[in-house]
Structure formats: C-alpha cells, structure tokens
Structure 1
C-alpha cells in the first residue's frame, strides 16, 4: 500500500495525466493540415478515413452531414469540431446540391499558400487536420460521439489562439512552419477533447468525462501512474477521502465500470500497446503491469483481447 504522503506527492508532481497517457499510446500524428475555401454554392463529399479529423470554421457557414447521423449540423464561424469515427461525410452550403466527390477532384484542386479551393470565392473558409493514430484507438474512441462539437463562446475563445497560430504558420511559410503547425494542431486536438469532457461531464460516462470530477481525476491519475500496483477498493477510496461504498458508486456512475474493471482494462491497453510496439518481450511486460507470472498475464490478455500475447505480437490488428 502506498503511504498517504506518496499520494500527495503524486498529485503534486504528476508528469502525466490520464488524457495525456491515452494520447501518448495512440501517437496521434497530424499528417494532413490545411485550409479549405469555397464560394457559394458548393457541396463536397468526403470518403471514409482512418484516424480523427479536427476542423475549425474560420469564416462563413455550411452544413455538415455525417453518414449514420440522422440530423445534419449547421456550422458557423468559430465552431470547432472533431470527427473521430472515420465515417463518410458531406459539407455543403446547401444540402440539396449534388455533391462533388473529393476523390475525383483532389488532383486538380488548386493549392495556393496551403489552401484547397473547392469553388472560387471566399464565402467559406475552414481549417482542418487529419490525425493518424498509430496505437489501438478504442480506449479513446469508445467514449466519443460521432460528432464532437465545440460551439459556445467560451469554448471558441479557448481554441482561437491555436486556430490563428496555425493559419499564420501556413500562410507565412517560415522555416520549420510545418512542424509548428502540426504541434499546434495537436494542441487543438487536446483542447477539443478537454473541453468536450468538461462540457458533457453530466451527460456522458467514461474515463474522459470522469476527468471533470477532481476526485475521479485523482484516482484515474494514480491508476495510470502505477498500473503494476496491487490497488484495492479501500486504498483508492481512501486516497480521495471517501468511504468504500460511496467511492465504488461514484466511480461506476462517472466512469461507467467498477474500479477493478477499469484497472484491468487499462493494464490490457498498455499491454497491447507494448506488445504491438515490439520493443519489449512478453516476459518483461507481465511484471511491469502487476502480473506475478507470464502464464497469469497471458490468460488475462487472452480473456480481454481474444488472442494470446504471442498471437497479438504477430498480428496486432483484430
């Protein structure tokens, strides 16, 4: 059991938090960052993709219609959104217009100072990034809706700096500008996730939304910092000054599963990432996650992922 002083020290000098932990495992990389301009009328159909798309509307308005989502969404200047599930989507000044397939025009789209021009004119201007995820994304994507919208004034203000900086880097073409734009895009992604978790904390459940609760954030941080520790319900409850029963109920209500189930799932997420990375042996992964033997670890891994660690090492994608 960790002493109480250790809990205080962990909370004070924590180098990683749960959101940072998860994103570091996914290794998001902004491999496309650019702008889109259009003059009315226009309509563009974009295909399915892998990863997360992040957009910020700079000027103008348009409609967004995502496959599988019944109601289209009206986007206005200042709106920031994430599309995390890779579904085909349509953006248009008028949804009644026949859309142009982006794949058919990508070779002929005019590129000028980093801007993709769909139709001549300046009625609409959009900034976007497409993040490739190199790790297993389920831990993050399962708690996100199809469309993550940030549209109130406070949220717009918090992402405005990132949007303006990305535009400046893309327009000025300074040395190192591509790298700076990618890092700012990463900041925009983190800010969008952080604001979404705070905004939807009362309506959603899952580790992302639980981060808005200081007590649950403390517990999740402890678990993430020390995944190999033999955590008990009593120990976690005591770390935030709650009774065992109250803590268990509060954790399940905000995170959506029991503390022990969350610990097992986080350990298995770390295990899959380390095995997929192929820089650690399976024998070394087991003790680093609190398993006393490789056989016990292998059995737990197979229960969670449906394959043995060795099978996952050979072919990580399900």
Structure 2
C-alpha cells in the first residue's frame, strides 16, 4: 500500500481552478486566506509573493509553481510596496462580464498567473497538512519543474479556451499537479536528510526515512493486524529501539500511536459511508469489539462514533 495515496484518498481532496489572472505595469493584488491549500503558477512574466505572517518574500518567474498550505492572506504584486487591489472584486467581475473570463489588474498583459485550491476533509491537517512548510516553491530552473509543466500547460489551455467540460478537466489536472508537487517535496526532503527527515514531524517526514516508510507501508497494508513494535521492527529489518526512535523523530509519535490514529481515521471514513455496522468496522480496523473501538475513537476524536456521526451531519 502507498501511504501517501492512502492519506490523499482518505482526506478526500477536491480541486478547483479559478480564472487566470492577467496583469501588467505596476500592480498588486491581495487574496483572502484560502480554505484549503492554494496553488499559484506563473505562466508568463514575473511577480512577487508575500504571505501574511511571514517575513519571507518569494520572487516568482515564468515556470515557477508554489503551494500555500496555511490559511493566511497573501499578495501577488509587481512591487509589494504598492497598495493592493482586492482579488475577490477582480475575479467576480471576470465571471460576471462577457469576454475571456480572465481577471485583470494593472496595465498591459505581461504577466499571466494560474491559481486554484485544494479542499480536504477534516482529518487532513493532522494526517498531512500540518507537516508541510507554509510555502512550497518549485522553481522553473529546477529539473522538477519539467514534471509539472505538462499539467500546468493543459490547465492553462482549458482556462484560456474554455472548451466543453473545461472546469472538470482542469480540476482533475490540478489534482495531478498536487501529487507531483508533494512527490517532489518528498524527494527534496529525502535528498536533504535521508535518514532524519527534512520536513516537520508528519507523514512526509516519515516517508523521507526509508525505515519509517517501510513501517508505514506495513501498517497501511495490514491495519487490523495485532502489531507490536517488535513485530513491526522485525518486518522492516531493524531493532525495536531503532524503529521507535526514528518513527518518533519523523512523525512525532510512536508506531502504535500512529497506528491508532490511522485506524480511527479509517473507521471515521467507513462510518460516514454508512454502509457497514459498527461491529464490522471495529473488526476491519483491528478492534475486537464495538466498545474497544468506541473507547479508542473517543480518545482520538473526543466523541463516540455515534456522536461523531451526529456532529458531522449524518
């Protein structure tokens, strides 16, 4: 099993692509905090990116792509010292007027920016997003940028030409792009720190450590197995103490704590699907009874399975 694929499927990523932004001359545009993860790709020209709460500014040129992983206001501009127009007004006007559907600011058409967002389920932050840096930049000058260029070129074509089904096609391509960026970020952290993990504690840091990655694959393949740390360590060929230390350093928790979190995430997904009994779900995720699952569920999520369903609107 692929833990990254498992988590992306579990958190239910949904992609959306906004209208493109055309800009030129002196300009600045302020964007509201995204509900999920935001992507920004510069297809022509150059601009600067600033994210609220960070002192670091990012110069972006044609071919650069970045992910913004925090719910923070951000600004794109030719000069960040300029007063910024409200992006919501510009994009609303683009949708309401006849024309090519592109938002515009400044004078001229030197710059073209694609943007979109990825919305995730409620468990995404704990399982994936909290471990990502606030901004992930893939520069056009890096070999990795070529991997993204095909998807971005196709998204640009759909946004500019608006053929039938353009929105759906662009959304699926955006999900492809997201997976590529996460892969590239994972490869970068592996190269920077192959045995200690280069990301903050979380799934990607775990996947950047080959020993922890092997353990994660075992847990995701057989979540219902009665694992012990010794069994898991033997399955990946290291000592119990080595696995425990590397797992804790990479994910900020021990192997069995992670397994509990993953089992409860699986149980919550199956509960929301509504096609299985609580007893069958308990067995499927490694608990011997409904009461054992309910106890673990309440410890992890703060409510019983039935209360969780009521709170989620089912």
| Same fold, TM-score > 0.5, yes or no | yes
The match for 1:153 among 142, 163, 185 is 142
Q: Is the CA contact (8 Å cut-off) linking 1:33 and 1:182 kept in structure 2?
A: no
The match for 1:183 among 172, 181, 189 is 172
Match of 1:59 in 2: 44
Shift of 1:112: 4.5
The within-5 A match list for 1:1-318 is 16-109=1-94, 112-138=99-125, 139-151=127-139, 153-201=142-190, 202=193, 203-204=198-199, 205-316=201-312
Q: Is the CA contact (8 Å cut-off) linking 1:111 and 1:117 kept in structure 2?
A: no
Shift of 1:184: 1.2
Shift of 1:17: 0.8
Shift of 1:312: 0.9
Q: What is the alpha-carbon distance in structure 2 between the residues aligned to residue 274 and residue 118 of structure 1?
A: 46
Q: What is the alpha-carbon distance in structure 1 between the residues aligned to residue 60 and residue 248 of structure 2?
A: 35
More displaced 10-residue stretch of structure 1: 258-267 or 106-115: 106-115
Per-residue CA deviations over 1:30-65 (Å, capped at 9, x if unaligned) read 233432110121111111231211121112222212
3-state SS of 2:50 partner: strand
The alignment's TM-score, normalised by the length of structure 1, stands at: 0.87
Per-residue CA deviations over 1:240-271 (Å, capped at 9, x if unaligned) read 22222222222222333211111111112222
Identify if the C-alpha distance between structure 1 residues 244 and 314 changes in structure 2 by more than 3 Å, giving closer, same or farther.
same
Per-residue CA deviations over 1:197-250 (Å, capped at 9, x if unaligned) read 221343223221222333322221121122111112222222222222222222
Identify if the C-alpha distance between structure 1 residues 34 and 217 changes in structure 2 by more than 3 Å, giving closer, same or farther.
farther
Per-residue CA deviations over 1:151-185 (Å, capped at 9, x if unaligned) read 25122122111111222233344444333222111
Per-residue CA deviations over 1:248-306 (Å, capped at 9, x if unaligned) read 22222233321111111111222223333444333332111111111111111111111
| Paired residue total | 302
Q: What is the alpha-carbon distance in structure 1 between the residues aligned to residue 154 and residue 72 of structure 2?
A: 28
Q: What is the alpha-carbon distance in structure 2 between the residues aligned to residue 136 and residue 244 of structure 1?
A: 29
Shift of 1:314: 0.5
Q: Is the CA contact (8 Å cut-off) linking 1:64 and 1:75 kept in structure 2?
A: yes
Identify if the C-alpha distance between structure 1 residues 114 and 136 changes in structure 2 by more than 3 Å, giving closer, same or farther.
farther
* Unaligned runs of at least 5 residues, structure 2: none
Q: What is the alpha-carbon distance in structure 1 between the residues aligned to residue 171 and residue 131 of structure 2?
A: 25
Shift of 1:192: 0.7
Shift of 1:135: 4.6
Shift of 1:150: 1.8
* Unaligned runs of at least 5 residues, structure 1: 1-15
The alignment's TM-score, normalised by the length of structure 2, stands at: 0.88
Q: What is the alpha-carbon distance in structure 1 between the residues aligned to residue 106 and residue 270 of structure 2?
A: 46
Q: What is the alpha-carbon distance in structure 2 between the residues aligned to residue 240 and residue 21 of structure 1?
A: 20
Q: Is the CA contact (8 Å cut-off) linking 1:29 and 1:133 kept in structure 2?
A: yes
Q: What is the alpha-carbon distance in structure 2 between the residues aligned to residue 64 and residue 198 of structure 1?
A: 24
Q: What is the alpha-carbon distance in structure 2 between the residues aligned to residue 294 and residue 19 of structure 1?
A: 28
More displaced 10-residue stretch of structure 1: 172-181 or 243-252: 172-181
Identify if the C-alpha distance between structure 1 residues 279 and 48 changes in structure 2 by more than 3 Å, giving closer, same or farther.
farther
